[in-house]
Structure 1
Amino acid sequence: MEIYFISTILAGALILPLALKTCFPYLWTDLQYVGVFLRILFKYVAIRRRRPPFFALDRFLERSAALPDKPFIVFGDEAYTYADADRASNRIANALRSQRGYEAGVSAALFMGNEPGFLFTWLALAKLGSPVALLNYNIRSKSLLHCFNCCKAKVLIAAAELKEAVEDVLPSLMEQGVTVLLWAHRCDTPGIESFSDKVQAASDTALPPSLRSRVTLRSPAVYIYTSGTTGLPKAALVDQNRLLSALAVVSTYGVTSKDVVYVNLPLYHTAGFVVGFLGCIETGSTIVLKRKFSASQFWDDCRKYNVTVVQYIGEVMRYLCCTPKKDNDKDHKVRLAIGNGLRAEVWKEFLNRFGNIQILEFYASTEGNVGFLNYAGKMGAVGRVHFIHKKLFPYILVKYDTERDEPIRDASGLCVEALKGETGLLVSKITDIAPFVGYAENEEQTERKKLRNVLKKGDLYFNTGDLMRIDKDNFIYFQDRVGDTFRWKGENVATTEVSDILSMSDCLQEANVYGVQVPGHEGRVGMAAATLKRDAQFDGSKLHDHVVSYLPSYARPRFIRLQSAVEVTGTFKQMKVKLVEQGFDPEQIQEPLYILDDRVRSYVPLTAEIYRSILSGHVKLSRPVTSALSRKL
């Protein structure tokens, strides 16, 4: 009996782990995540309780005191230690204090590209207690003036190469009494002061903390702008509290002080500024700063600087996978890639080609109050649903009507929750620990991001504008942006999914998918603006076979527009609004246009005759084009 009892216990001990792994394959991973999640919360609470108040700048001051000689920024052949950065920012701050029109604490705008001066200037302004607007260096004229005015800045600090862009809006800036400083030793333009010479002559003595004594956790820290794919950019107000919470999260990403982090995304964007720059400060690591992303130079830089951690966003990984293959593709020290927007098929191709690199995919937005981390490493997922996370940061997927562009509501006026496996709009409850601050000087857009009466009357949620899906294993997947999804033949078409399929074809390198209105047809018809792969010719027959193999009939693009390059924002988000407005008129579009013809099983040139026949109703897009034309003739 005793032997039987012992045998039973031993058998159970052996079988239990196997049973748990079979029935709960992610149990151990989930438990590990609970530990990580609680560590984030404890760290954040501990920081919040520090007195005097502790800010992101204070973390830098700690690092520069503890690691003065450690390399902080590497830029080309230049290298700066943490102590160098501290002294450089002191000089900039002291130079600013001597400028007419500047007072410690007033808002300033930074109009610079990726360079060490950008980082030093932000540190200087933080030491002076000034909120900083991070302006996209690609914007001009009306958009530049709009972004500047959003944050009520009194000072504009610009890079020398952006002088002409500043001069375009200078009359308006002068009317407002704005102090304009140019990173140059000399400037002859009235109304613009040279700044480099003042910085060079300034002292590098430390700034008294009293200059930022009025800064609180609720004070604005930075203004980070949306990409403006559908209009003028909006300035998301990021307060000091939000920066601290972001640093608490970034500290758990697995980056250490021994890592060398490659930052080639724009510093004016959240990924480059918060995850890249401030993330390295939090972990005490070294930044290899690049002016801009270059697919051809990416791996050579990683090898040259012994990079161990890289960032990605949007289409960056796809661009890397599209470069010509080399024998040394796996010859590097990169161990970790952090970012978002990586689709499953690109994820797989990236690992197969460039080696065993840990991919840390996450979901977040600059102004949003919800985020996910794909801690389990499931290809294609942005995260995993976890009850503790959902308890503290309540969120829900609600059914969405893409035709009316609004959530579906029941008879009582409440939103309808999407079932598992269904695509729904991600909304997150606005609470004290998950606030939504909104956009600077834009109450209308702030209000539009709020969704009321979601689960009960009077509740308030943040509308992410993102369509997501949760599978049976509780992994959550990004599907599309609201407005990017369109309806055709009674079905919802996800543009990102169609884009991915098109770029898997033999001839197309990249595709920007959108819906266009066609007279006599309900909904919007699929169209793609695409580029050809290097040395490839457009093959309408092969492309037809490809889309038929991978896409249902309603999702197959009816129109293809070939371009030399797909227009994207500075953070690689595809621009669609102008393309939608231009439609598919061959007389208005000089680039090659094609239409899907099921009868000949090919994409054929879209002629003026076919276009007129579509407008007149003789050609219905639900029928083969050539058969309709033959009947007309």
Structure 2
Amino acid sequence: MDLMWVTGLLAGLFALHFLQRRFFPYLWIDARYLWKVVRYGLRIELYKVTGRVVTVVDDFMRQAQRIPDKPFVIYQDQVHTYRDVDRRSNKVARVFLDHSEVKKDDTVAMLMSNEPDFLHVWFGLAKLGCRVAFLNHNVRSRSLLHCFQSCGAKMLVVGEDMLGTLEEILPNLQEDNISVWVMSKDTPLKSVNTVMDKLESVTDEPVPAKLCQVTSIKDATLYIFTSGTTGLPKAAVISQLQTLKGAAGIWAFGGKEDDIVYITLPLYHSAASLIGIGGCIYLGATCLLKKKFSASQFWTDCKKYNVTVFQYIGELCRYLCNQPVREGEKDHKVRMAVGNGVRTEVWREFIRRFGDIKMCELYGATEGNICFMNHTGKIGAVGRSNMFYKILLPFELIKYDIQKDEPIRNEQGWCDHVKKGETGLLISEVSPKNPFFGYAGNKTHTTKKLLCDVFKKGDVYFNTGDLMVQDYDDFLYFRDRIGDTFRWKGENVATTEVSDIIGMLTFIQEANVYGVPIPDHEGKIGMVSIILKPNETLDPKSVYEQVVTYLPSYAQPRFLRLQETMEVTGTFKQQKFRLVEQGFNPSSVPDPIYFLDGSEKSYVPLTMDIYDRIQSGKIKL
């Protein structure tokens, strides 16, 4: 009898296991991930109840007490321990406290490249209770001045290697009586203060703790600027809540205290600063910091410094795959990569070539109130949802009219959900538990990112501006930005899909697809800017055969622009705005332009005669 009972129990357990694997294959991996989310969420809720927020900088100071001699930052073969960075940031705080008029709750802007002093200044200002604005050092002149003014900064701290950029806006800053500080011992610029000489005369003792005490998790702590792919950058308000969420990212994917995290992305963006640096602080890990990304040096650095985790964004993995094949490419200790934007075919190629690295794809806008994490490792997906996740972070995918650039509303005026497998606009409900903090300096920008009365009167949703698909297994896939998608011949063209097809050609290193306007035509017609691989030449007939074979007629780029370098933003996103503005006029565009000619079954050089006939409508498109 006992034997029968045991046999029945084992059979039942086996059946349950089979059913779970068959119908709920992600049950346990979802449960483990959800448990991490809940644990961390309870910590944040505790801050709300007690009114005493332990910030990322507080966590750093705690780590400096716990592991003072552990390397925190490795930069150009120099090791900076947790104690070193803590004391140096104390000295920076003392300089500004003693020699400037900056005070708690003031906004101070930083114009600095990737270097340890970026952290010293950031943490030093945070210890004074200041809000810090990270300026993108690739932005110049009037655009840079716009960024500074939009966040309401009262002071600017500039890296020594940024003096040329500073000079372009210095007269305007001085007219507005802005205090400017340079990270050097002396400077030829008049009325500009220096920091390094004053560091020698101040103590490294902590400033009064009351200065950096935070009582609300919703308090603004940073301003991080959007990439500006379709216009001037906007200053996203980053709250203490967002910095704490970002700092848990690497840990949630399985990061460990003994990890060495390779950060090549710019610190002025949220990926490197909040997820990278914040993640190292939360773990008590070590950061290998580079001034800028180098594809040729990447794996050499990984081997030399025993890197175990690296961050990627956009096309970084593609750049690595485009490097010449070398011996021993899998001879490294990298086990995990955290980032977003890697395409499916690049993902597969990257793993095949460089080894079984866990690719931790995530999704989230700097200013957004929604994020996804691909905790299962499903190739191509940006994350996975379930009913429990939607309770914590409610989101929807709704029908969207790309031509009108607005959500589709039914006869009752409400938005409609898309079905699983269909592309829809991702929106996330805004509520006290899931707030949207908006942009500094312009309420219009904040208002434009909100959708009201979506499913019922009075509801409010954050508009991500991203088109996504959720499949029948609840995996989410990024499709395109609504601003990057264009409409031609009554059809919607997703630029990433077209660039993926063209990028399959062996002689093409990178393809950037966008739409350009044509006189007397609705919508925009496709154009592609390409970069060739080293020592390769353009084969126009092969490009023609590729697009005609694999793309519908409305999605085939009619114009091809051959560039030597591809302009990108600081996070490696392809810059489309200027390309769209420049159009396809061969007399004004400095690069060779080709036209898709069906009669020649090739792309042919675009002459002024062809251009004029297109403009006059003599050539039918």
Question: How do 1:335-354 and structure 2 match up within 5 A?
Answer: 335-354=335-354
Structure 1 residue 215, shift from structure 2 partner: 6.0
Distance in 2 (CA, whole Å) between partners of 1:453 and 1:612 is: 47
Matched with 2:190 is 190
* Equivalent pair of 2:250/2:338 in contact (CA under 8 Å): no
* Equivalent pair of 2:248/2:275 in contact (CA under 8 Å): no
Distance in 2 (CA, whole Å) between partners of 1:438 and 1:457 is: 22
Distance in 2 (CA, whole Å) between partners of 1:195 and 1:16 is: 66
What are the Cα deviations for residues 233-285 of structure 1, in whole angstroms up to 9, with x where unaligned? Answer: 10001122222233344432211110000011000000010011111111100
* Inter-CA distance 549–28: structure 2 relative to 1 (3 Å threshold): farther
Pairing 1:334–2:342 present: no
Distance in 2 (CA, whole Å) between partners of 1:291 and 1:546 is: 38
Partner AA of 2:167 in structure 1: E
* Inter-CA distance 213–380: structure 2 relative to 1 (3 Å threshold): closer
Matched with 2:175 is 175
What are the Cα deviations for residues 597-628 of structure 1, in whole angstroms up to 9, with x where unaligned? Answer: 2333222222222222222222112xxxxxxx
What is the alpha-carbon root mean square deviation over aligned residues? 1.8
What's the secondary structure of 1:144's corresponding residue?
Answer: helix
Matched with 2:479 is 479
* Equivalent pair of 1:40/1:249 in contact (CA under 8 Å): no
* Inter-CA distance 99–616: structure 2 relative to 1 (3 Å threshold): same
* Equivalent pair of 1:260/1:285 in contact (CA under 8 Å): yes
What are the Cα deviations for residues 350-391 of structure 1, in whole angstroms up to 9, with x where unaligned? Answer: 000000100110101111000111111111110012111111
Distance in 2 (CA, whole Å) between partners of 1:14 and 1:237 is: 52
* Inter-CA distance 11–606: structure 2 relative to 1 (3 Å threshold): same
Question: How do 1:64-79 and structure 2 match up within 5 A?
Answer: 64-79=64-79
* Equivalent pair of 1:223/1:236 in contact (CA under 8 Å): yes
Mean Cα deviation higher: 41-50 or 596-605: 41-50
What's the secondary structure of 1:301's corresponding residue?
Answer: helix
Matched with 1:598 is 598
Matched with 2:84 is 84
* Equivalent pair of 1:101/1:178 in contact (CA under 8 Å): no
Matched with 2:431 is 431
Mean Cα deviation higher: 58-67 or 602-611: 602-611
Distance in 2 (CA, whole Å) between partners of 1:259 and 1:444 is: 43
Matched with 1:514 is 514
Mean Cα deviation higher: 550-559 or 531-540: 550-559
* Inter-CA distance 252–214: structure 2 relative to 1 (3 Å threshold): closer
Question: How do 1:450-529 and structure 2 match up within 5 A?
Answer: 450-529=450-529
Aligned length: 621
Distance in 2 (CA, whole Å) between partners of 1:296 and 1:601 is: 37
Matched with 1:394 is 394
* Equivalent pair of 1:40/1:252 in contact (CA under 8 Å): no
What's the secondary structure of 2:200's corresponding residue?
Answer: helix
Matched with 1:254 is 254
What are the Cα deviations for residues 386-430 of structure 1, in whole angstroms up to 9, with x where unaligned? Answer: 111111221111111111111111111111211111111101000
What's the secondary structure of 1:584's corresponding residue?
Answer: coil
Consecutive unaligned residues of structure 1, counting only runs of 5 or more, are 622-633
Matched with 1:316 is 316
Distance in 2 (CA, whole Å) between partners of 1:212 and 1:229 is: 35
What's the secondary structure of 2:451's corresponding residue?
Answer: strand
* Equivalent pair of 1:43/1:248 in contact (CA under 8 Å): no
Partner AA of 1:600 in structure 2: E
Distance in 2 (CA, whole Å) between partners of 1:329 and 1:446 is: 46
Distance in 1 (CA, whole Å) between partners of 2:368 and 2:104 is: 29
Mean Cα deviation higher: 10-19 or 344-353: 10-19
Distance in 1 (CA, whole Å) between partners of 2:492 and 2:90 is: 55
Question: How do 1:191-590 and structure 2 match up within 5 A?
Answer: 191-213=191-213, 216-590=216-590
What's the secondary structure of 1:98's corresponding residue?
Answer: helix
Matched with 2:119 is 119
What's the secondary structure of 1:68's corresponding residue?
Answer: coil
* Inter-CA distance 278–5: structure 2 relative to 1 (3 Å threshold): closer
What are the Cα deviations for residues 571-599 of structure 1, in whole angstroms up to 9, with x where unaligned? Answer: 11111122112211222223111122233
What's the secondary structure of 2:500's corresponding residue?
Answer: helix
* Equivalent pair of 2:91/2:203 in contact (CA under 8 Å): yes
Structure 1 residue 517, shift from structure 2 partner: 1.5
What are the Cα deviations for residues 66-123 of structure 1, in whole angstroms up to 9, with x where unaligned? Answer: 0000000100121111011111011111111121333344211111000000001111
* Inter-CA distance 13–591: structure 2 relative to 1 (3 Å threshold): same
* Inter-CA distance 6–184: structure 2 relative to 1 (3 Å threshold): closer
Distance in 2 (CA, whole Å) between partners of 1:317 and 1:485 is: 23
What's the secondary structure of 2:99's corresponding residue?
Answer: coil
Structure 1 residue 187, shift from structure 2 partner: 1.6
* Inter-CA distance 67–10: structure 2 relative to 1 (3 Å threshold): closer
Matched with 1:629 is none
Structure 1 residue 48, shift from structure 2 partner: 4.2
What are the Cα deviations for residues 151-192 of structure 1, in whole angstroms up to 9, with x where unaligned? Answer: 222211101121122222222212222211111111232210
* Equivalent pair of 1:129/1:211 in contact (CA under 8 Å): yes
What's the secondary structure of 1:156's corresponding residue?
Answer: strand
Matched with 1:39 is 39
* Equivalent pair of 1:330/1:354 in contact (CA under 8 Å): yes
Distance in 2 (CA, whole Å) between partners of 1:308 and 1:345 is: 23
What are the Cα deviations for residues 519-569 of structure 1, in whole angstroms up to 9, with x where unaligned? Answer: 343321110011111111111111122223332222221111000011111
Partner AA of 1:100 in structure 2: S
Distance in 2 (CA, whole Å) between partners of 1:215 and 1:18 is: 50
* Equivalent pair of 1:374/1:382 in contact (CA under 8 Å): yes
* Equivalent pair of 1:263/1:290 in contact (CA under 8 Å): yes
* Equivalent pair of 1:397/1:425 in contact (CA under 8 Å): yes
Pairing 1:160–2:168 present: no
Distance in 2 (CA, whole Å) between partners of 1:8 and 1:599 is: 74
What's the secondary structure of 1:324's corresponding residue?
Answer: coil
Distance in 2 (CA, whole Å) between partners of 1:317 and 1:49 is: 42
Structure 1 residue 50, shift from structure 2 partner: 5.2
Structure 1 residue 9, shift from structure 2 partner: 5.0
What's the secondary structure of 2:569's corresponding residue?
Answer: coil
* Equivalent pair of 2:103/2:129 in contact (CA under 8 Å): no
Distance in 1 (CA, whole Å) between partners of 2:10 and 2:184 is: 76
Mean Cα deviation higher: 281-290 or 48-57: 48-57
Partner AA of 2:265 in structure 1: L
What's the secondary structure of 1:251's corresponding residue?
Answer: helix
Matched with 2:137 is 137
Structure 1 residue 2, shift from structure 2 partner: 9.0
What are the Cα deviations for residues 51-71 of structure 1, in whole angstroms up to 9, with x where unaligned? Answer: 643211110111000000000
* Inter-CA distance 2–493: structure 2 relative to 1 (3 Å threshold): same
What's the secondary structure of 1:465's corresponding residue?
Answer: strand
Distance in 2 (CA, whole Å) between partners of 1:613 and 1:138 is: 39
Consecutive unaligned residues of structure 2, counting only runs of 5 or more, are none
Mean Cα deviation higher: 413-422 or 346-355: 413-422
Partner AA of 2:327 in structure 1: D
* Equivalent pair of 1:97/1:104 in contact (CA under 8 Å): no
Distance in 2 (CA, whole Å) between partners of 1:223 and 1:195 is: 23
* Inter-CA distance 82–7: structure 2 relative to 1 (3 Å threshold): closer
Partner AA of 1:146 in structure 2: H
Structure 1 residue 227, shift from structure 2 partner: 0.8
State the TM-score, normalizing by the size of structure 2.
Answer: 0.97
Matched with 2:59 is 59
What's the secondary structure of 1:230's corresponding residue?
Answer: coil
